[in-house]
Amino acid sequence: MTAPVRKAPQRGSATDKVHEHLKRLILTSDLAPGEELREIALTESTGFGRSPVREALRRLVQEGFVEVRPRQGYRVSPVTLASVRDLFEMRLLLEPAAVELAALRAPREELEALHTLAHQTYVPGDTASYERFLQDNREFHVRIARATGNERLARSLRVLLEEMQRLFFISLDNRDSASEMTHEHHDLYDALLARDGARARELVVGQIEAGRERVLQGLVSRTGHLARAAAGVVLADATTRRSP
């Protein structure tokens, strides 16, 4: 049964509105992993017709946030151990290269403009505050990539970080990691201004690995306590990988 959702925002085309609305609910885990999505129920809850709802769902399927099950309809894509591993592995491939390039060739004024984003924080336990922090965090890292002058790199990193936002929300707990995460940004910002590419790479690798540990710990805790989230979070992943 699809959970009640808030009305969609009133801007852009009908399909764009529904897409933006449902995507935000998925990224913030208001629509939990594995949750069924019924066209009729979504039409009623969002106030839009079936055509824009159907088109929005198709778009979300293309983006990987929703999946189609034959003869059963749509559901929010589950989170598996393999998907967590793949996302962090991709980030480890892309972002260290991005920060190293930025340290070497980004215009100084573009690096200095990152100061505000690098010093953002959030209020532990305040979901709205955490959502704003994650948006600023994503923008911080994407703008570093854009400052390299490689727009393809920036676009790829934006898509990846957007998908990872769902993991951060699902794994959110009451532990205060705000100061820890803000300190990570301070150090990276300083390394970029110092044009220390090796230090920037080292820092971001450590940040990504620390983030992966936080996510995995949060997911384990979440699946042990919240049935709604646990239904679509599969940490005992049956997927096997071929040995190299």
Residue-wise pLDDT for 80-129, tens only, equals 888 999 999 999 999 999 999 999 999 999 999 999 999 888 887 788 88
- What backbone torsions phi and psi does residue 33 show, to the nearest 5 degrees? -55, 135
Residue 17: band (very low, low, confident or very high) from pLDDT cuts 50, 70, 90: very high
Which amino acid is residue 93, in one-letter code?
A: L
Report how far residue 221's alpha carbon sits from residue 134's, in angstroms, rounded to the nearest whole number: 21
How high is the pLDDT of residue 69? 87
Q: Which residue has the tokens 């336990």?
A: 125
Per-residue model confidence as pLDDT tens digits over 129-186:
888 988 999 999 999 999 999 999 999 999 999 989 888 887 766 455 666 777 789 9
Instruction: For residue 18, give the nearest of 75, 66, 63, 59 by alpha carbon.
Output: 59
The C-alpha atoms of residue 110 and residue 147 are separated, in whole angstroms, by 6
This prediction's pTM? 0.79
Mean pLDDT along residues 187-206? 96
Measuring CA to CA, which residue among 98, 172, 94 is closest to residue 133?
A: 172
Alpha-carbon Rg for the chain, nearest whole angstrom, is 19
